[in-house]
């Protein structure tokens, strides 16, 4: 009984930790890989090209592929979500 309660209490904690890790991963990946050609100013420039969340994800993939990084979907998603949270703010 006691054990059951402990496990139940851990679940939301785990979910929060995973969300936090995804945010950290996105930030770290961008800082390590994505600053050689453009700074983060492209994400907020006046005539930025990206206008949808889908488009953002595609652009992340395009830039990632041109670097030959072979990211997993999780990495693409983490970076897309990091850029969206901090710069693009699409719904």
Residue numbers at the binding site for ligand HEC (CB under 6 A): 30, 33-34, 36-38, 42-43, 48-50, 56, 59-60, 63-64, 66-67, 79, 83
Q: Is the dihedral of CA 23, 25, 28, 34 positive or negative?
A: negative
Separation between Cα atoms, residue 85 and residue 66, nearest integer Å: 24
Min CB(14)–ligand HEC separation in Å? 27
Min CB(17)–ligand HEC separation in Å? 24
Min CB(85)–ligand HEC separation in Å? 13
Which of 58, 52, 36 minimizes the C-alpha distance to 89?
Answer: 52
């Amino acid at each position: 009984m006691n054990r059951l309660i402990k496990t139940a209490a851990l679940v939301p904690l785990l979910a929060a930790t995973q969300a936090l890790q995804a945010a950290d991963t996105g930030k770290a990946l961008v800082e390590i890989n994505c600053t050689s050609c453009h700074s983060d100013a492209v994400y907020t420039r006046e005539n930025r090209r990206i206008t949808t969340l889908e488009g953002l994800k595609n652009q992340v993939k395009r830039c990632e592929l041109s670097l030959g990084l072979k990211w997993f979907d999780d990495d693409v998603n983490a970076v897309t979500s990091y850029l969206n949270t901090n710069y693009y703010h699409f719904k």
